[in-house]
Structure 1
Amino acid sequence: MLQRKLAALLILLPSSLSLTVTAQQQTPSNPVAPSQLALALPATASLSTEESHKPAFESSSAEGVIRITPAPQLEKELPSQRPFRTAAFGIKANTLGAGAELATPLFGRFNLRSGVNFLAFAYPFGIDGVNYNANLHFKSSQSTLDWFPGGHAFHISPGILYSKNTVSSAATVPAGQNFTLGDQSFINSVGDPVHGNMSLAYPRTLSPMLLLGFGNILPRNSRRLSVPMEFGVAYTGAATINVNLTGTACTNDGCTSFGGNSEVQASLTQEIHKINEDLKKVPVYPILSLGVAYHF
């Protein structure tokens, strides 16, 4: 009896196991609704299609798309590049005197600069035994076009110089001293010593000039202070000198008055000519300048 029950159990057990496996394969063990499936997906998956078509400047988040538009880049013109809307003021010491100048930008790498110079001082010197106490009176103004070829400190500045430079001097010879005029030697009289005056002048009042320098008194940045330096020449023409002498001087042949002796006057003319020939070798006026400037 027991054997028959065991045999029946062994026959029914495989069939039961087969039905259980079949049911599990046909019915999901944990069914999920479509709406729940959508919520379970990552946020980036729902935006993947939209992200593939959005522009490079858009960014996305879990809540949607954020469009970022960059602000337009406006080129701000520096104040120092506005013609006649900004200026710089400078002071300088140069061979034309103590100077002051104003400058304004024109365009690109060009500035327009104008200034004035004043100089007055005494300078004693002697030539061939004749003593001179020169008084120099220099007054001038200039305008230049400053070109900065490299866009930096170095500049080339052609311009115009207006000058009224004069030199006047008293001419004296100590009593009893030897002096020379031309090829003739004299001994100055003790009772009526030789004396007179000298003047020097330039033939041009309006002269072209060319300067080279370093430093821009209108810097194309935020700097305000600058220390410009320049050197160059102005074509003023050679200066000429004139000398007038009176009094009595003596030679081996005796003493004679300068005012009424033609030979003495010829010697004086020869001396003046010799000096002017030396001055002709320098038809330009040298210019050296160092200053400080402030850009408003």
Structure 2
Amino acid sequence: MKHRFLICSLIVLGISAAAAAQTAPARSLANTSSSSTPETESSSGSSSVYSATIQPTRPMVNAPHSAIALTAGTLGAGLEISTPIGRYVGIRAGAHGIAFSGNFTSNDVPFTARLDETSATFQVDVSPFGGRFRISPGVMVYNGIHASARAFIAPGQKIDLGNDTYTSSVTAPITGDASFHFGSNFSPMLTMGWSNLLHSSRFAIPLEFGAVFTGKPKFVLNFSGYACDEHNICGNLETEADAQTNINQERATWQDNLDKVPIIPVVSIGFAYRFGGMGIPSR
């Protein structure tokens, strides 16, 4: 009988020790959690059970992202890369270029012309309302936009230069060369656009319009060859004084026309892809 009582006592002590060991981790978790609710204790015999509620963690901040866009517009075909530096501000760099040739006539003089457009731009995209609309001040850091034209006046054909009319000779017909280019690479620019790459879905169609303030371009015009004027006075256009006066007058007229528009208009549309993040949500 004594042996049975001793065995039962040992079993009860073992069960009590196991129950105490199970409640220790719960009690430790409740003491160390700063965001837990007040502890609720229920007792039965010598055992106690504790419960704690932990607040959910805050969502992770969106990872930085960038975007690349292919554009087409007045500056030619372009490739632009943009990246955010804040919720409302991003930076964008682009390279643009195109070249094409064609024919045109001025004062009954046929010209074969070529236009070359190469440029590089750097802009700051500001979203004042935290949405897709943006205002983008910046600078054209490289301006390689220039045009050239060449004219050939067939023998016997007439051409108006300044105040006189000249007839191209048979032995050395009149030829002309014209060109214009911009003297400064650093030109301020200001554009506005829609579908901001910082606040868009994975794909976007950005639109942009504005201007590059280039200042007055430099225009060059020269004629050479032999010709006769209305008074049947013939000579070399490069050396004859009256002919040079008329050529200078013609050059000044062209320069005045170009000076009236000291800007390059910017109009473009593109296709953009954003990568490397979830984007900044629009308001």
- Which TM-score applies when normalising by structure 1? 0.72
Match of 2:55 in 1: 71
Equivalent residue for 1:158, pick from 137, 156, 166? 137
Residue number in structure 2 paired with 1:283: 262
- Counterpart of 1:230 in structure 2 is 208
Whether 1:102 and 2:81 are equivalent positions in the alignment is yes
| CA 1:180–1:57: 2 relative to 1, 3 Å | farther
Conserved 8 A contact 1:197-1:243:
yes
Contact residue 88 and residue 130 of structure 2 kept, 8 A = yes
Q: 1:200 to 1:68 in 2, by over 3 A?
A: same
1:217 pairs, out of 180, 194, 197, with 197
Alignment match, 2:102: 123
* Greater alpha carbon shift after TM alignment, 140-149 vs 66-75: 66-75
* Amino acid in structure 2 at the alignment position of 1:195: T
After superposition, give the CA deviation of every residue in 1:71-115 in whole Å (9 maximum; x if it has no partner): 335143223xx3xxx211111002111100111110121111001
Quote the Cα distance in structure 1 between the aligned partners of 2:176 and 2:235.
Answer: 16
CA distance in structure 1 between the aligned counterparts of 2:177 and 2:39, rounded to whole angstroms: 90
**Residue identity in the other structure for 1:153:** R
Shift of 1:155: 0.5
Partner of 1:175: 155
Give CA deviations for 1:234-262 in whole Å, capped at 9, x if unaligned: 11112222111111222221133212211
Are 1:91 and 1:292, in contact at CA under 8 Å, matched by a contact in 2?
yes
Paired residue for 1:91, among 53, 70, 73? 70
Q: Does 1:252 align with 2:230?
A: yes
Question: Structure 1: any 5+ residue segments left out of the alignment?
Answer: 1-55, 60-64
State the shift of 1:170 in Å.
1.5
* Contact 1:119-1:139 at 8 Å conserved across structures: yes
CA distance in 1, matches of 2:104, 2:38: 81
Compared CA separation, residues 131 and 70, structure 1 to 2 (3 A): farther
- 1:66 and 1:188 map into 2 onto residues whose CA distance is 109
Task: Find runs of 4+ consecutive structure 1 residues off by over 6 angstroms.
Answer: 56-59, 65-68
Q: 1:204, CA displacement in angstroms?
A: 1.5
State yes or no: 1:273 paired with 2:252.
Answer: yes
Alignment of 1:178-197 (within 5 A): 178-197=158-177
Q: Equivalents in 2 of 1:93, 1:137: separation in Å?
A: 15
- Name which structure has the greater RCO, CA cutoff 8 Å, separation 6+: 2
- Structure 1 contact 176–187 (Cα < 8 Å) conserved: yes
From the CA coordinates, give the structure whose radius of gyration is larger.
Answer: 1
Normalization by structure 2: what TM-score?
Answer: 0.75
Give SS of 2:85's match. strand
The AA in structure 1 aligned to 2:75 is: L
Which residue of 2 is the match for residue 16 of structure 1? none
1:20 alignment counterpart: none
RMSD of aligned residue pairs (Cα, Å): 2.5
- Contact 1:120-1:135 within 8 A present in 2 as well: yes
Contact residue 95 and residue 288 of structure 1 kept, 8 A: yes
Q: Deviation per CA, 1:37-80, whole angstroms, max 9, x where unpaired?
A: xxxxxxxxxxxxxxxxxxx9999xxxxx996736335143223x
Aligned residue pairs, count: 232
CA contact (8 A) 1:90 1:217 kept: no
Identity %: 33
